[in-house]
Amino acid sequence: MTRDLKFFQAINEATDLCLARDPSVYLMGLHVPADPKGVFGTVLGLSKKYGPERVMDMPTSENGMTGVAIGSALVGMRPIMVHQRIEFALLAVEQIINQAANWHYMFGGQAAMPLVIRMIIGRGWGQGPQHSQSLQALFAHVPGLKVVMPATPHDAKGLLIAAVEDNNPVIYLEHRWLHNVFGPVPEGRYTVPIGKARTARKGMDVTIVATSYMVLESLRAADLLARDGIEAEVVDVRSLRPLDKVQIFESIRKTGRLVVVDGAWRSLGFAAEVLALAAEQIYGILKAPPARVTFPDLPSPSTPALAQHFYPRAVHVVNGVRTMMGLPEVTEEQLGIQHETPLDVPDKAFTGPF
């Protein structure tokens, strides 16, 4: 049976199922049992249900506790570590990149590393460059790590269960503007394969490859483009590493045009990687130079005044496509877009279902 759940409820349900199904699974993170809001609601009730031995707080010692998680994974446990901001995980980069990512390789495939690290990304509420960055490219760059970025409640649940059951370290990135998005989620256990993209919207004229929250902005852009007779196909990559190049290339072969929309910096990022792959492997079928819609190469701003010029929205995706097709750019006013809330808080129009 399928019902509508919010994104945070889907994460909570997936964690609950994994804890109930496998006694080797445990949950750990700073304030995980004590946060009255339950880390955006994602861990509410789990401490009471499973107790402090399986749902535990940790000291402000990210590097050391990641080492504990790695050590427990090596002896058969399946830890889920939670960082309420991706920036907190930077204190544990040595453990993640130098140890967890390499262990399977260093021991000739004889050692598994079933570790999941949830990291919350994204902007909002005036939080500045130390609490609102999106560093997916940093982790996706490293061989040995898998990196997933769900955009729907269905995928939030299925990808988390797949990550917990995977024998490799998985970085699970969730944008905090997605937590209140709702959509259909099946009951019980199911998985979404890591490394498999999803066609979120079919089209024939241009392929928009998007990540995480930018999938929602891209879907709005596709609806706006359709008013002018431009049918955009939106590909939700869901997994940055491994990347589903087959599905991305199939879409580009159909449309002949490529725009990559990533909520992160422009240079040396995920969008740059997809453009490079297209240039290397299917250059001859492109009808126009590919394009990127990303953050500018500047630190993430704190003020709403700067934020509205920093974070790309649907209008920027629309103009990325229109420029590619030789059409003049348009404004949000011309598109009829009105913002009921400040641009530094989630748009109420993006609640779902998707």
Please give the positions annotated as active site. 62, 131
End-to-end CA distance of the chain: 18
Of residues 101, 238, 114, 103, the one with CA closest to residue 173? 238
Tokens read off for 278: 């297209």
Asked if 239 contacts 172 with a C-beta cutoff of 8 angstroms, the reply is no
Asked if 183 contacts 350 with a C-beta cutoff of 8 angstroms, the reply is no
Q: How far is CA 285 from CA 37, 254, 279, 295, in A?
A: 50, 9, 10, 27
Instruction: Give the H or E element holding residue 10.
Output: helix 7-21
Q: How many residues does the chain have?
A: 354
Dist. CA 104–CA 108, nearest whole Å:
6
Instruction: Give the H or E element holding residue 316.
Output: helix 314-324
Instruction: Give the H or E element holding residue 5.
Output: strand 2-6
Q: How far is CA 241 from CA 137, 146, 158, 319, in A?
A: 10, 5, 17, 28
Dist. CA 53–CA 13, nearest whole Å:
19
Tokens read off for 250: 């199939």
The DSSP output letter for 243 is: -
